Amino acid sequence: MPSQDQISLVQRLFVQNTMALRGFVLALMPDFSRVDDVVQETFLTVTAKADDFLDGTNFRSWVFSIARFKVLEALRKPGATVLSLDAEVIESLCATEIEDWHADEQLLALGRCLDELTPQARRAVELRYEQAHRPAEIAQRMGWTVNSVNVALARARAALRDCVERQFNHEVT
């Protein structure tokens, strides 16, 4: 059983990295409803394996590797793979060197970039990410075709991604 100090250390670091972790899991599991399950399971494992973490090493890398296993575990459950990528693809993606994700700064930039979207595009993004609607539901609510929603979301995301990266790079430099 890990010492209480070690448990406290990893749990504190977990809390500090939760946003980035949730973003990581969201990328691998497009179904929003499953993300918190994986984050919960990761938290429990991090606590149970607290002794495996060495203070001063890269916590985020450690917790992401645990989360990756939890994602793969979740995807093995019946009906879970429909929207998700296969395990070998996820392994391959996770083997790719991932740039450190500064979630807080990116969110601040995102808030500003959303203001630059057209009202209709903003509405589609809100319905998708705030209300968790799928494109078919968004189409129904906006009186659009599903294809129009798909295009609008794709364009909005591309514009936002470029805007956020521009702002973030500007702030960093």
User: What does the binding site for another protein look like in residue numbers (CB under 8 A)?
Assistant: 1, 8, 11-12, 15-16, 18-19, 22-24, 26-28, 30-33, 35-37, 39-41, 43-44, 47-48, 77-80, 83, 85-86, 88-89, 92-93, 96, 98-99, 101, 103-104, 106-108, 110-111, 114, 125-126, 128-132, 134-135, 150, 153-154, 157-158, 160-161, 164-165
Contact 17, 60 (CB under 8 A): yes
Q: Are the CB atoms for 110 and 25 separated by under 8 Å?
A: no
**Closer CB to another protein, 3 or 134, in the complex:** 134
DSSP state of 98: P
Sign of the Cα torsion 81, 34, 61, 173 reads: positive
Residue with tokens 């364009």: 155
Cβ at position 120, least distance to another protein in Å: 17
Nearer to another protein, 62 or 152 (CB): 152
Give whichever of 58 and 98 is closer to another protein, judged by the CB atom. 98
Nearer to another protein (CB atom), residue 6 or residue 150? 150
Cβ of residue 60: shortest distance to another protein, in angstroms? Answer: 14
Q: Closest approach of Cβ 173 to another protein, in Å?
A: 18
* DSSP 8-class letter at 50: G
Tokens of 9: 């250390």
- What CA–CA distance (Å, rounded) separates 75 from 85? 9
Picking from 141, 2, 27, 15, the residue whose alpha carbon sits closest to that of residue 93 is 27
Cβ atoms 35, 22 nearer than 8 A: yes
First-to-last alpha carbon distance for the chain, in angstroms, is 45
Nearest approach in angstroms of CB 40 to another protein is 5
28 versus 66: smaller Cβ distance to another protein: 28
Minimum Å gap between C-beta 149 and another protein is 9
